[in-house]
Amino acid sequence: MAEPSTQDMLLSLVPFLLITLALFLFVAIPISRRKGRGIGFAAWSLIPFLTLFILFYLVSLTDKSVLDRLAALEGKASQ
């Protein structure tokens, strides 16, 4: 059996890269904005194999809106 060419090996990475890019655009960026993190933090999900760990970390964070409401309640309580 012939050894695969370089072009064949690169083409085999295309689906993997498309899935990573789709997760970045449609999952990591919206979640990072909602959690109060920047797009730079979401960019870490572009590193293959780190994508799922970064997304798991982002999902486990508390939403920025909840943190703002909690800070407002604490401000009212201390006055």
pLDDT tens-digit readout, 18-45: 999 999 999 999 999 999 998 998 999 9
Domain borders along the chain are: 17-78
pLDDT at 57: 92
The pLDDT tens digits for 39-73 are 998 999 998 888 889 999 999 998 999 989 999 99
User: What is the SS3 assignment for 48?
Assistant: coil
Selection from 46, 20, 36, 43 nearest residue 70 by Cα: 36
